[in-house]
Structure 1
Amino acid sequence: MPAPHSPEFRERAVALARLGDKPIVTLAKELGISRSCPRNRPAQSDADEEGGTSGRLTTAEKTELAELRRENKQPAPENEILKRAAACFARENVLQK
């Protein structure tokens, strides 16, 4: 994964993409970024400014969603261990009677 650019660099790239003086491919090559960045970044910037009212997730919401998904994956192995432990204890209770 490439190193993240500074907020100033991103703002400048968005401004240049919005000007539309150069094709996006040329602009991306000059800035040394991927072609999708000048296409996606202005829309993401708009979503951040509008607070997510445009139907797109803001950067903060995307970060939170990624964190929640990461946390959501963690309980699955823990639940599996608890299920096995419960089954083991249940077997012991049945055998004792």
Structure 2
Amino acid sequence: MARKKPRARQRSRRVFTPEFKAQIVGLVQRGERTVPEVVRDFELTDSVVRKWITQAERDAGVRSDGLTSEEKAELAALRKENTRLREDVEILKRATAFFAKETR
């Protein structure tokens, strides 16, 4: 009988404010701390800090390899609206079919 490996304790997902992210990014960009120092001192992951730095550079216009935060928010809102409109169209199709049967 095969033994199951014990699961590593999963970290709960933490949520960070935009102000906190900006503070961390500022520390690195101003040269006050390196990424590894920030990771250690604030108990963050290397990948999340680097992601925040990359996004801050996009937002500042330094990088052009992705969407800015504003563009991401707009895209999310448009996708949500698109989903709602598709649902509305489906409801209208069903209503049209229902009333077409009733008038015969």
Q: What TM-score comes out, normalization by structure 1 length? A: 0.69
1:38 maps to which of 31, 46, 49: 49
> How has the CA–CA distance of structure 1 residues 54 and 28 changed in structure 2, closer, same or farther, with 3 Å as cutoff?
same
Verify the 8 A CA contact 1:14 1:41 in the aligned structure 2: yes
What SS class does the counterpart of residue 50 from structure 1 fall into? coil
- In structure 1, the gaps of 5 or more residues are none
1:75 aligns with 2:92: no
Letter in 1 for 2:76: A
Q: Do the aligned residues in 2 keep the contact of 1:14 with 1:38 (CA within 8 Å)?
A: yes
Q: Point out where structure 2 has 5 or more consecutive residues left out of the alignment.
A: 1-12
- Residue by residue over 1:26-48, the C-alpha shift from the partner in whole angstroms, topping out at 9 and shown as x without a partner, is 53242133432211111111111
Percent identical: 32
Count of matched residue positions in the alignment of Structure 1 and Structure 2: 91
Q: TM-score, normalised by structure 2?
A: 0.66
Once residues 88 and 15 of structure 1 are traced to their aligned partners in structure 2, the CA distance between those partners, rounded to angstroms, is 60
> Higher relative contact order by CA 8 Å / sep ≥ 6: 1 or 2?
1
- The question of 1:90 aligning with 2:100 is answered yes
Q: Is the 8 A contact 2:35 2:49 kept in 1?
A: no
Is the CA contact (8 Å cut-off) linking 1:28 and 1:34 kept in structure 2? yes
RMSD: 2.7
Relative to 1, partners in 2 of residues 1:33 and 1:57: Cα closer, same or farther, differing over 3 Å?
same
Q: How does 1:52-71 map to 2 (within 5 A)?
A: 54-71=64-81
Secondary structure (helix, strand or coil) at the match of 2:44 reads coil
Between structures 1 and 2, the one with greater helix share: 1
Q: Which runs of 4+ in 1 moved over 4 A?
A: none
Whether 1:10 and 2:26 are equivalent positions in the alignment is no
